[in-house]
Amino acid sequence: MTSRFRQFFPDYIFLFSIAGVILILDQITKWIVRTNIPFGRSWMPLDWLAPYARIVNWHNTGAAF
């Protein structure tokens, strides 16, 4: 089993590294939003994005698909 692990691990190290970086960045951005935007409020970094997107501090207890 260990030889099989050693055989495939180098192939997946890049994938696991990218997934780890994305996970860390996701948690950092969530922390920034929670600490800087009051609950229920939104922030638009660029005015021209107003009809399309905004950053909102909101909680979802369910799953979204």
Q: Quick one: pLDDT at residue 45?
A: 85
| Predicted confidence (pLDDT) per residue in 27-52, tens digit | 999 999 999 999 999 999 888 988 88
Q: Is residue 61 part of a domain?
A: no
Q: Is residue 63 part of a domain?
A: no
Count how many Cα atoms sit within 13 Å of the Cα of residue 60 in the half-sphere of its side chain. 6
CA–CA distances in Å: residue 5 to residues 15, 18, 49, 50, 54: 15, 19, 47, 49, 44
Number of domains in the chain: 1
Q: Is residue 49 part of a domain?
A: yes
Domain with 9 in it: 2-56
Q: Quick one: pLDDT at residue 60?
A: 82
Q: Is residue 64 part of a domain?
A: no
Asked if residues 44 and 55 have their Cβ atoms less than 8 Å apart, the reply is: yes
Q: Quick one: pLDDT at residue 1?
A: 53
pTM of the model: 0.66
pLDDT at 12 over 90: no
